[in-house]
Amino acid sequence: MLKSIAKLASLAGALALITSVATARDLVINFDDLNPGPKKGFDDAVEAFRAAYPDINVIVNNTDREAHKTAIRNFLTNDAPDVTSWYPGNRMAPFVDAGLFADISDLWASDENLSSNFEAIKPTMTRDGKQWGVPYSYYQWGVYYRKDIFDKLNLAEPKTWDELLSACDVMTENGVTPFSIGTKFLWTAAGVFDYLNLRTNGYDVHNGLTAGEIKYTDDRIRATFANWATMLERCSFVKNHATMSWQEAIAPFANGDAAMYVMGNFAVDGFKNADLTEDQIDFFQFPEITPGLARAEEAPADALFIPAKAKNKEDARLFLSFVAQADIQSQWNKTIGQLPPNSAAAINEDDKFIVEGFATVSTAAGLAQFFDRDAPAAMAKAGMEGFQKFMLEPGSLDEILENLDKVQAEVY
Amino acid sequence: MASTASLRANRYQTASTTVALSAIVLIIALIGMFTFDVSWMVDNLGFTKRVDARVPSFFARFSCLIIALGAAFICFTNTSLYKRNKLTYAPWIFLFIGTAFFLIYVIIPIFQSISYSFTKWDGLYDINGFWTGEWVGLRNYVQLLDDPNFYTSLWNNILWLVLYMLAVPAGLGIALFLNQTVGGIRIYKSLFFFPFVISQVVVGLIFAWTYNPEFGLLSEVWGFFFCEQTTNIMGNLTTTCTVDPPSILGDPKYATYGIIAAGLWPQIAYCMILYLTGLNNVSPDQIEAGRLDNAKGWKMLWHIILPQLKPATFIAVVVTVIGALRSFDMVATMTQGGPFGSTNVLAYYMFDQAVGEGVGRYGYGSAIATVLFAIMLIYISYFLWRMYQDEKEGN
């Protein structure tokens, strides 16, 4: 019986093949953020695309971010969508190397908007000299601080390392812990390290380190850790940071026990949820350490990619060049409170963090993606464990650096 | 006479018809199993919009497989070979499904995992479905020997094994204490058994909160002695302590002990229930005889009760050792191996290296798994050998 069904099916299928070409232009997109803001930003962009191309049938699968990280490993080989969200930098490397993402260099070359307005972020999307995706958003990192505490102690935003250290001394004297941080999930410590290294050694050395060209026991990296040791001594972090997540570490910041927080712009939402008002919090760029060094910033981007197995690559490319447009990027990032990678796009002038963040990253000499996106995952894991260990046991620095060298030798 | 012959012929005919029919079904089902593809039908017949067709395809193929197995079963039971050797073949038919699943989910993965441990692989297949790893021989094992995190994990595993054993005497103690007949003893017994019923994840969370230096129960008690409420610069209440409360899970010196203590709580309950059932079977005659010989207290416990509890002790030790080696969920919920890997155990370190946070060192993770398997194998062999000896002695 089953055989006859199969026979019938194949007969009808053959007929269908002859009589009609692909019936509908289906475009399947896998996205990875269910939080209300990001979901709305994405959905609006899809709606705009539907309006512009009514004959394309867009199908959206939106899943939770962590689930997406697991699922992508399967769906890229088994049942690929036409477009998927993922991260650039080294996070895309395994998929690029396994040939699972489609090369879209020709799109970057032929699309006028992509070729002219994405210069700053293009290197992040590039691997082996080719481009693999289109970024839709990025955000700045820096120091978020309690403006009311700074005012009370007559402190100004520190511009240099010495200013920061003396500001910390004032805070400590007044019973305020300078920095809040929660290192339970490790990556927050990498933010501090990245900035210390970018300010001590500059973008090229930092890049060389995460690319595996410079050893951790290098004197320049040791200088970074020496500055970190100074920071631990004079600009100390909250106690018990090893048991807290970054969200839990907002509590001492909101309570006024700690005055500063090295974080990405997504944290502003968390601060506001902890009943801090816009007037109480503000942002400054991580202060200069080595004078005269070109200022590089941390600015992780989120991007969209086309799987190599996508069924409808033509329309997928259409979608990518559509979301790269200035007006779409402006609207999307206004909704999610982040920065548009398109340099021709407008930013949300009403959001002081976005305005300051844009000023910070658009004038930066180089943009780092974040330690765990710049370094391969296995190196990032070991590195971040090392950073946490250093924060808890600064005395074991040599041991930490030697171990990181060992991991580095294995991973690259 | 004639009627019996025709009956026999008739029966033969029925049997051969059944066999023929089942053979046809078997062939169709086998073809269906390999060719049935709902996504193809969906794509080419325009049934619906594009959906995930793998699930219906899987079920269609799985049904074909079941039908094929059934047909094969009918064919086989109708052969004269089977009819002549029923006693030899019948057990295997019953064992077939169980054996198949055991092979697919336990035995084959063990060998797969061992074979991956000689490769470098990030867990990905390329676009054609080919495996992307490379053969590196013993390199993963050489790296293991030089990896401080591996030694930390191994040491923590030993700590777990040793300290987890406390559950056995503790469980015995509570069982002896509860082995009395007073009103409502069943309620007390259930209360003591309670921690074993809650999920390990919940136990982990409860203990993590208890240990939390900011708001945990432990810090509250600590605060009563060493801390006072003050107002900070912003006029908010804050706590200042003369001696800071211990950050148990944030301090590499205490973190593993903190997790083991959490693990012991349900494990003690488990051992207790094993001993309680064991105590039910202690023969009153022997206790009586012991009394006559003037045994009491420790002597009674050591010479009369404990020997009779030997089977319970054996099982308690077995489940405790296995529990200690599997101590994965506690570590995962309480610290994720942190701070800086100091609470890793082999099982968690393996998970962390292979699938955790996209680290993707499947080869290295498999090497850790193989080491853990080797350790377990020593223990399992001993256990099986003991069982075999007991069987041989016939008790």
ipTM: 0.79
Domain membership of residue B395 (yes or no) is: no
* Same domain for A237 and A305: no
* Same domain for A164 and A36: no
Span A199-227, pLDDT tens digits: 999 999 998 999 899 999 999 999 999 99
Q: B180-207 as b/e, with b when 16 or more CB fall inside 10 Å? A: eeeeeeeeebeebbebbeeebeebbebb
Q: Domain tally for chain B?
A: 2
* Same domain for B196 and B302: yes
φ, ψ for residue A390, nearest 5 deg: -65, -40
Q: Is the pLDDT of residue B176 over 70?
A: yes
> What tokens were used for A217?
């026991």
Interchain contact B32–A (C-beta under 8 A): yes
Span A100-124, pLDDT tens digits: 999 999 999 999 999 988 888 888 8
Mean pLDDT of chain A: 89
Structural domain of B347: 148-360
* Same domain for A234 and A161: yes
Collapse the DSSP code of A144 into the 3-class scheme (helix H, G, I; strand E, B; otherwise coil) and give the result. strand
Structural domain of A162: 141-298+376-411
Interchain contact B125–A (C-beta under 8 A): yes
Q: Domain tally for chain A?
A: 2
**Contact, B368 vs B150, CB < 8 A?**
yes
Q: Is A282 exposed, middle or buried (0-12, 13-18, 19+ CB in 10 A)?
A: middle
Domain membership of residue B306 (yes or no) is: yes
Q: Which chain B residues are Cβ-neighbours of A257 within 8 angstroms? A: 232, 236, 238
φ, ψ for residue B237, nearest 5 deg: -70, 140
Crossing angle of helices B38-45 and B54-77, in 10° steps, is 130
A 243-282 → B contacts, CB under 8 A: 243-244, 248, 251, 255-257
* Same domain for A158 and A269: yes
Q: Which chain B residues are Cβ-neighbours of A16 within 8 angstroms? A: 44-46
Name beta bridge partners: B229: B239
**pLDDT in the model for residue A343:** 87
Interface test with B, best of A60, A79, A238, A240 (most B CBs within 10 A): A240
Q: Which of B84, B101, B126 is the last residue of a domain?
A: B84
**pLDDT in the model for residue A11:** 45
Please tell me the distance from the alpha carbon of residue A93 to that of residue A411, in angstroms, as a whole number. Answer: 13
- In 3D space, the residue among B333, B87, B105 whose CA is nearest the CA of residue B208 turns out to be B333
Domain membership of residue A16 (yes or no) is: no
Element (H, E) at A169: helix A161-173
- Look up the CATH number of the domain holding residue A269: 3.40.190.10
Please answer yes or no on whether B247 and A239 come within 8 Å at the CB atom. yes
* Same domain for B158 and B56: no
Interchain contact A326–B (C-beta under 8 A): no
Span B79-102, pLDDT tens digits: 888 888 888 888 888 898 899 999
Domain membership of residue A17 (yes or no) is: no
B 218-247 → A contacts, CB under 8 A: 232-236, 238, 244, 247
- In 3D space, the residue among B249, B263, B260, B262 whose CA is nearest the CA of residue B340 turns out to be B249
* Same domain for B39 and B184: no
B 163-182 → A contacts, CB under 8 A: none
Say whether the peptide bond before residue B339 is cis (omega within 30 degrees of 0).
yes
Residue of B43 and A27 predicted with greater confidence: A27
* Same domain for A273 and A318: no
List, as one string, the DSSP characters of B168-217: HHHHHHHHHHH-S--TTHHHHHHHHHHHHHS-HHHHHHHHHHHH-TTT-H
Q: Is the pLDDT of residue B54 over 60?
A: no
Q: Which of A249-253, B46-50, B304-308 has the lowest mean pLDDT?
A: B46-50
Interchain contact A240–B (C-beta under 8 A): yes
**pLDDT in the model for residue A20:** 38
- In 3D space, the residue among A350, A336, A305 whose CA is nearest the CA of residue A132 turns out to be A305
B67: nearest CA in chain A?
A2
* Same domain for A382 and A275: yes
**Contact, B387 vs B124, CB < 8 A?**
no
**pLDDT in the model for residue A323:** 95
Domain membership of residue A75 (yes or no) is: yes
Residue of A250 and B58 predicted with greater confidence: A250
Rounded to the nearest angstrom, the minimum Cα separation between A171 and chain B is 10
H-type helices in A89-143, by residue range? 93-97, 105-110, 112-117
Strand pairing class (A366-368; A141-146): unpaired
Interchain contact A121–B (C-beta under 8 A): no
- Look up the CATH number of the domain holding residue B182: 1.10.3720.10
Span B121-153, pLDDT tens digits: 888 888 777 888 889 999 999 989 988 899 999
Collapse the DSSP code of A295 into the 3-class scheme (helix H, G, I; strand E, B; otherwise coil) and give the result. coil
Domain membership of residue B388 (yes or no) is: no
* Same domain for A120 and A174: no
